[in-house]
């Protein structure tokens, strides 16, 4: 598996992979004092607009907590794998987490 890591996921889209792939696992840390929402998109960062493009998966990460998942069967992204984080759960939310609030590692193929 390949690894993507960012120490500062926010409302600016980041490419995990710019072609079709599968997510096999992730580790996400929310260092903020309130819940943050990590959003995965089935497109490239060049085509994703946080707050406009609908995510295919939204993960709420409670304040001061982490979430992790590792599986033998990947989650398919037919176009590309892109990730961002916001302060609100709504698909149209554009609230920006503070610097280094959300850190992420994604294992993908």
pLDDT (tens digit per residue) in 19-73: 999 999 999 999 999 999 999 999 999 999 999 999 999 999 999 999 999 999 9
Give buried/exposed letters for 49-62 (b at 16+ CB in 10 A, else e). ebeebebbebbebe
Q: C-alpha angle 15/57/83, rounded to 5°? A: 15
pLDDT at position 34: 97
**Separation between Cα atoms, residue 74 and residue 72, nearest integer Å:** 6
Chain position carrying tokens 């959003």 = 39
Work out the pLDDT band at 84, boundaries 50, 70, 90: very high
pLDDT at position 82: 98
pLDDT at position 52: 97
In this structure, are strands 2-6 and 102-108 parallel, antiparallel, or unpaired? antiparallel
């Amino acid at each position: 598996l390949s690894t993507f890591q960012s120490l500062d996921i926010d409302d600016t889209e980041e490419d995990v992979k710019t072609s079709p792939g599968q997510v096999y696992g992730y580790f996400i840390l929310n260092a903020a004092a309130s819940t943050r929402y990590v959003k995965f998109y089935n497109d490239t960062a060049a085509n994703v607009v946080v707050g406009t493009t609908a995510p295919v998966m939204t993960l709420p990460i409670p304040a001061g907590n982490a979430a992790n998942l590792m599986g033998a069967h990947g989650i398919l992204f037919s176009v590309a794998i892109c990730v961002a984080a916001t302060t609100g759960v709504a698909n149209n939310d554009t609230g920006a987490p503070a610097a280094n609030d959300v850190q992420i590692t994604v294992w993908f193929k």
